[in-house]
Structure 1
């Protein structure tokens, strides 16, 4: 299978999203301000998975084009990944590159609005959408 094939990109995105989802379930109900080191490491692994998931959405022209015909789950995957990144940025502002995260989420909001998925884009904070 070609490295840049659409199917491969979709599967890679789903893998990163699965990692994100599993960690989110494992951290459910945790006190974010009193996290032990192991849980903190899991949270940062989930942040990496969310960022990788969004990178696939944003950098693949084939994937971007296919999003016009994507099912609900694919669009929610992207939106949830972006919202998780924003949550991590608000919890750990000193430890993360806020500019990179905000830029990535802004690109996602723009992409979702381009592919006629405006109903997903407003789940991002209004200040992101107003900066266009």
Structure 2
């Protein structure tokens, strides 16, 4: 039996956080681990949780204010030693270049497409499991 993975979800919008949870479900992909979600509404909370450790994947809302998920992703990649993989939620497909700039490991567009999000998150979770 695989251990449970912890997915941190950052968005200033509780509806977006809920969409991520509902789209992912308890097990985003059949051959991946079950997940539990840790929700954060501020960048400070995200950084505090990353300092505590135990986060397997971060899902960051690129449309959050005052700090978007892409800027936060770049900060995480610069400042957090062995940062977990990051999935950013983009407002539009044309923002893919920003996701690349932020050094995100993956990106999906808003509104959340359940199949796309679950598949992408599952891929990141399996990558984490393989490297453990």
Q: TM-score, normalised by structure 2?
A: 0.30
> Greater relative contact order (Cα 8 A, min sep 6): structure 1 or 2?
2
Radius of gyration: which is bigger? Answer: 1
Q: TM-score, normalised by structure 1?
A: 0.30
